[in-house]
Structure 1
Amino acid sequence: MSEQNPSILSHVSIGTNQFDKARAFYDAVLPALGIAAVLEHPGAVAYGRQYPEFWVQEPHDGNPASVGNGFHLGFFAQDREQVHAFYDAAIAAGATCDGPPGPRPAYGEPYYGCFVRDPEGHKIEAAFWDAEMSMQIHGE
């Protein structure tokens, strides 16, 4: 029996108007979370740890890509250090800060994360959920 993919989504795609620049940005940032390019086609690249879960691509309809208001994409970090590594890599690669690394008690005490805007304005998050803290809070 093969191992089942643990993801709940097949994939997420964001559009880009500057594919080469977007590819260079994500190639520089995602390794901080153990994520790499796993599949590519002309004008599109997919990233993942094992499966192609996050696509960056030119829109198929030929119209300009735009940033979705209210949309953001969150990546799992394995620990707080990865959150900081992701943030530092993103800022160095041209992202802007939309919330520096730190706890966000409003999201739950075990949450620790950061938010950046990629060079085209997409809101990207790296988050660590401290399972040990969660168990302590819930008395497990």
Structure 2
Amino acid sequence: MAEIMKPVIDHIQITVKDLDVAEKFYDAFFPILGFDISRKVKAFIPEHDFYVIEYSHELLAFAITSPREAFKNEEIHRRKPGALHHLAFRAESREEVDEAYRKLLEMEAVIVTPPKLYPEYAETYYAVFFKDFENIKYEIVCNQ
């Protein structure tokens, strides 16, 4: 019997409204997660008519992409069908969540909810929820 795959994400690519605005946010945010932004790569992919900025880490590649011309004025909303509702990054401790929160405040991220326990999810679920400069929602969570 073949071995079953493990649910490991290799890369994530998100389309943003304004690549310049998004780049400023992700340049400040990704070092909080351990990304070295000096490894950031920018490219234009003519076959797909988009610009992309990719941030690389040994555990995950994360890219932001320019929208197609036909969609550039659409509102970003996480409750639209097919949209990313939110993306959660795992912290090793509550202290890491708190430290990330302090750094998010420094970079002026939009804080949805400061760090707190969410017993409705799990007894030890501790998280901060925030949005990037274009309304894409993220979470940093520790479940210990």
**Given residue 102 of structure 1, which amino acid in structure 2 is its aligned partner?**
K
How far does residue 45 in structure 1 lie from its aligned partner after superposition? 2.3
Question: Do 1:112 and 1:129's aligned partners in 2 also have CA atoms closer than 8 Å?
Answer: yes
Report the RMSD for the aligned CA atoms in angstroms: 2.5
| Aligned-partner Cα distance in 2 for 1:18–1:68 | 15
Question: Do 1:44 and 1:56's aligned partners in 2 also have CA atoms closer than 8 Å?
Answer: yes
- Which residue number corresponds to residue 55 of structure 1? 63
TM-score, L = length of structure 1? 0.73
1:98 pairs with 2:112: yes
| Aligned-partner Cα distance in 2 for 1:23–1:111 | 30
Q: What is the correspondence of 1:19-98 to structure 2 with a 5 Å cutoff?
A: 19-37=19-37, 38-42=39-43, 43-59=51-67, 61-62=68-69, 63-64=71-72, 66-70=75-79, 71-98=85-112
- SS of residue in 1 equivalent to 2:63: strand
Provide structure 2 residue ranges, at least 5 long, that are not aligned to the other structure.
Answer: 1-5, 44-50, 80-84
Number of residue-to-residue matches in the alignment: 125
Question: Do 1:27 and 1:36's aligned partners in 2 also have CA atoms closer than 8 Å?
Answer: no
Provide structure 1 residue ranges, at least 5 long, that are not aligned to the other structure.
Answer: 1-5, 131-140
Percentage identity across aligned positions? 28
